[in-house]
Structure 1
Amino acid sequence: MVQQPFFIDTVIAPSYEGMLLRDYLIKKVRLSRRALKAVKFRDGRLLINGEEQTVRYRLKAGDKLSIVFPPEDKSPSLKGKPMPLDIIFEDEHVIVINKPPGIPVIPSQKYSTDTLANGVLAHLEKQNLAYTVHTVTRLDRETSGLLLIAKHRHAHDFFVKMQKAHEVHRRYLAVIQGNLEKEEGVIDAPIGRKDGSIIERTVRLDGKPARTNYKVIKRLKDLSVAAIKLETGRTHQIRVHFSHLGYPLAGDDLYGGSLEIIGRQALHSFELSFRHPFTDENMLFQAPCPEDMRAIIGEIPLQMI
């Protein structure tokens, strides 16, 4: 069965009469030059009223434009593997998934098949879509919670620009060992790779800028529960910043946390928000903590944080 490529159908408004199709695609449809090149040279098609046209076609009011994107290249190392997916939201452009702890997002040498990307690819293949997996936000293997995936390249291009403009927002809940001195604050400390390690990060003067905002929402015996919002997205940023202050995340044995409290780093992406790049709708999603974190901190009304 031939897989269905992504396409956009629209009718040209009178205000675009006489505009070159190329300019319309860039200014109105907001195609990236990379995507436009793929449509032009890689089995995509530009149809006006059902007939193929070049980008030098001058538009007429009422023209019916169809943009047929080429099938997307799939990495030979990424194979679809059906698995349960906790899909919070899905439309023709995006998928929001609530990831459980213990599952990597993308394949690596250590985890080649049992990743979220394998499951998402199988999900796309089941829908007979000629797409591949475009992760927008990622989580560490043992971190749980919401993440965003673009279903096709055009959507991914939008989200890349939105991330650079800090228009994709995430908030986390973390269980932190010790009682943080301040009720809220900002950790502003550059992060870089730790010498001699390909995995660990550390605060270092020659690292990349990193800012973490936090607010304590609950205190337990020798533990602080904090809501966290990142201004930057460095690898292991939350884990490194709190460990640097002397307050590692519970269960984060890589950065000094104790596995006696919980069997993985107690970090959950509980909120994700963004403006939908195709509908302009403000999207906000929340996901309660999984059972292992709730067993420590109890129920926390997310809408009150």
Structure 2
Amino acid sequence: MNHLLQMNNVDTRFTLQFEAKKNGQLLREALQEWRISKRALTAIKFDGGMLTVNDVERNVRHILQVGDCVKVTFPPEEKSEGLAIEHGDLSIVYEDDAILVLNKPAHQSTIPSREHPTNSIANLVCGYFQQQGLASTAHIVTRLDRDTSGLLCIAKHAHIHHLTGLAQRKREISRQYEAIVHGHVEQNFQSIIAPIGRKEASIIEREVREDGQYAHTDVKVLKRFSLGAEPMTHVRLQLHTGRTHQIRVHMSHLGHPLVGDDLYGGSRLQIDRQALHCVSLSMEHPLTSVPLHFTSMLNEDMQRLLKESSA
């Protein structure tokens, strides 16, 4: 199957091109095999998209022949409700016509909230897309808490978001984090499998609870050290699920809250945010299936803690 992404000055609508491989197949069936969602087909039909076969507009009941050129033109997207178009600096690690990988600083929200309505990554991405002339909005693939730094991925179109969502459900998008936690973690490697749910009487806080959602985190010790009289451990964490505050909740549950994470028992004496950074992101490109791997160095505040430490 060949994919060709077409973006030009005349028509900024997102377009994919495929080659039919079966005689007598309904266009609807081929589109399903090409992972075009029913929601996307509805939008194409009613909101300004188009399906063509050999440059002739067709409906989903059209019968294909081997070698037919099928073009799927998606309707232009409108900015999501709750997002504003803002302009500012984005630390771009990778970009193509389908995805955008950024290095998010600490103290910046991924999406706007009531407490922090401006300067979110999503708002800035909307402004960036506007500058590029893209008829799209920000689709967050991998989200980070406001005070967590590091790599995050954004889809440039709803269909790409659909494909990355399928990949996430199959656990084909891998993220690794590094953190500095209180105390000396005893085991060099361990898996934390403990369900996470919302803490009663709190809209923000999560906790390990029997009726929570399945959550799995692998923890590897990189270095045990002390900062003054305070024992700490530098750990690498592999997420197998993506629950809200998962790493923070699991490490607190283990008895080793993240340094700086005062919501879950950490101290802010040494750092003014949870010492957590997404250091790597691995995935297959949603259109080409080419393996992609991105890395990010720890923020200076976490590097400082490690440099000031004594083994």
TM-score range for the pair, normalised by the shorter chain length: over 0.9
Structure 1 residue aligned with 2:246, among 231, 237, 245?
237
Equivalent residue runs for 1:141-152 within 5 Å:
141-152=146-157
Provide Cα deviations, 1:178-220, integer angstroms capped at 9, x if missing partner.
1011111112222111121111111222222222110101111
CA distance in 2, matches of 1:202, 1:114: 29
Q: What is the identity percentage for the equivalent residue pairs of Structure 1 and Structure 2?
A: 47
Task: Name the residue aligned to 1:63.
Answer: 68
How far off its partner does 1:286 sit?
A: 0.4
Mean alpha-carbon deviation: is it higher for 55-64 or for 123-132? 55-64
Matched letter for residue 25 of structure 1: L
Instruction: Name the aligned partner's letter for residue 243 of structure 1.
Output: S
- 3-state SS, counterpart of residue 294 of structure 1: helix
Structure 2 distance, partners of 1:290, 1:247, is 21
TM-score normalised over the length of structure 1: 0.92
CA RMSD in angstroms comes to 1.7
Aligned residue runs from structure 1 range 109-148, under 5 A: 109-148=114-153
| 1:298 Cα offset (Å) | 4.0
Hey, what's the Cα distance between the residues in 1 that align with 2:218 and 2:207? 18
Contact 1:3 1:129 survives alignment (8 Å): no
Matched with 2:48 is 43
Distance 1:246 1:77 in 2: 37
Conservation of the 8 A alpha-carbon contact between 1:138 and 1:147:
yes
Measure the CA separation in 1 of the matches of 2:11 and 2:306.
46
Q: State the partner residue of 1:302.
A: none
**Aligned-partner residue type, residue 48 of structure 1:** V
Q: 1:17 aligns with which of 15, 18, 23?
A: 23
Determine the structure 2 residue equivalent to 1:250: 259
The count of corresponding residues between Structure 1 and Structure 2 is 296
User: 227-236 vs 63-72, which deviates more?
Assistant: 63-72
- Normalising by structure 2, we get a TM-score of 0.91
- Residue 99 of structure 2 corresponds to 94
Q: After superposing the two structures, state which structure 1 stretch, 32-41 or 144-153, moved more.
A: 32-41
Q: Select the residue among 14, 17, 21 that pairs with 1:6.
A: 14
Q: Hey, what does 1:282 align to over in structure 2?
A: 291
> Residue in 1 aligned with 2:90?
85
Distance 1:119 1:201 in 2: 28
Task: Give the Cα–Cα distance (whole angstroms) in 2 for the partners of residues 11 and 183 of structure 1.
Answer: 50
1:3·1:128 contact (CA, 8 Å) conserved in 2?
A: no
Whether the 8 Å contact between 1:3 and 1:130 is mirrored in structure 2 is no
Please, which runs of 5 or more residues in structure 2 have no aligned partner?
Answer: 1-8
The change in CA–CA distance for 1:62 and 1:246 in structure 2 (over 3 A counts) is: closer
Q: 1:232 to 1:9 in 2, by over 3 A?
A: closer
Identify which of 157, 160, 163 aligns with 2:165: 160
Does the CA-based 8 Å contact 1:99-1:144 persist in structure 2?
yes
Query: Residues of 1 paired with 2:242 and 2:18: CA distance?
Result: 36
